[in-house]
Homo-oligomer: A and B are copies of this chain.
Amino acid sequence: MHVSELETPSVLINLDIMERNIRRMQDHCNALGLAFRPHTKTHKIPDIAKMQLEAGAIGIACQKVSEAEVFAQAGINDIQIPYNVVGVKKTQRLVDLALYNHMTVSADHTMVVAGLADAAKTEDMALRVLVDLATAEQRTGASPYELVELAKRIEKEVHLHFAGVLVYPSDPSARPALLETLDLLNTAGIGVDVVSGGGFGAARFADQMPELTELRVGTYVFGDYGSVVKEWCTLADCAMTIAATVVTTDRVILDSGSKTLTSDRIQDGHGYIVEYPEARIYKLSEEHGHCDFSACAERPVIGEQVHIIPVHTCVVTNMHNQIYGIRDGEIEVEWPVAARGLVW
């Protein structure tokens, strides 16, 4: 089926571009001697994860236990969850997964570690726990001193294993704290298996972070307009577009609103229209994309199809039940977004 026969709005993935993105990031990591662990949050699709593994990735990252379950059931067994898994049911499911899969989780607080230890204690296992180092992101993460205390705490637990340090994003600005942490751990006699960095932007500076042993990146696989604006990739690297139809032209309105693109915004708009680079999507209603075409030499007509590079690819995938892989204008594959919409 030709891509133009698809109903809109539909999410399209240019397979040639995606495959090039997969190869290029793997090559980048190979050249630096870094293990690569793609973050599946961007696609949530086991088949794409398998392409990433086929290209050389050592395993994957998932952001939720429920997502890890989907990928484990699809036969992918080295899974890291770089998240504080909190709550008796979630930690129990994590432990269940760890019985048959190579699971790693992160923590940044003794209460999180205590929950993991409690869940793991009934099993003959040593659940791998990375400690999350705070960065300028100001999200999760412990200070270097706290991190070492947590590492000691983890090492005291029979059923947990301190697996190393997690850094997000692993920008060079995080290096002083990372070096301090590794020095403190060394002084304390605590071994470090893994130093796991992450972030699409940070990946470009991984050569300046020689302490990293692995890298987690998600967005690179599809690319998006937000990454282009931040100069993490180019428009030519954007594999995902949303096929949309013009439904009104007095003001140009597309059939793609916040229920298709999400409200994520960068600079002055909600995406880049491939066919009309000077156009601006200045506002979204739920099912309408409000466009300003005043800078364009031509205006589209009602019924015309255009393609939008979204601002943030990961949140787009999260809303759609299926996305379409296209090559040379033909639909080659329809992927159900298997790991979207999960609660756990």
Contacts and interface: CB of A to CB of B under 8 A. Distances in A.
A138 interface: yes
A207 interface: no
A139 B289 CA distance: 9
Given A84-B247, A108-B248, A140-B247, A343 B10 contact: yes
Interface stretch (A24-32, A252-260, A325-333): A252-260
Given A87-B7, A341-B320, A343-B7, A248 B303 contact: no
Copies in the assembly, this chain: 2
Interface stretch (A156-164, A172-180, A185-193, A261-269): A261-269
Contact of A263 (B109, B111, B262, B320): B262
A115 B304 CA distance: 13
Interface string A94-132: 000000000000001101100100000000000000000
A303 B247 contact: no
Interface of A: prevailing SS: loop
Interface of A: 6-10, 41, 63-64, 83-84, 86-87, 89-90, 108-109, 111-112, 115, 134, 138-142, 245-251, 253, 255, 258-259, 262-265, 285-288, 290, 301-303, 314-315, 318-321, 341-344
17 contacts: A7-B90, A63-B286, A83-B287, A84-B302, A86-B246, A86-B247, A86-B302, A87-B245, A109-B302, A111-B301, A112-B302, A138-B251, A139-B290, A142-B250, A262-B262, A263-B263, A319-B341
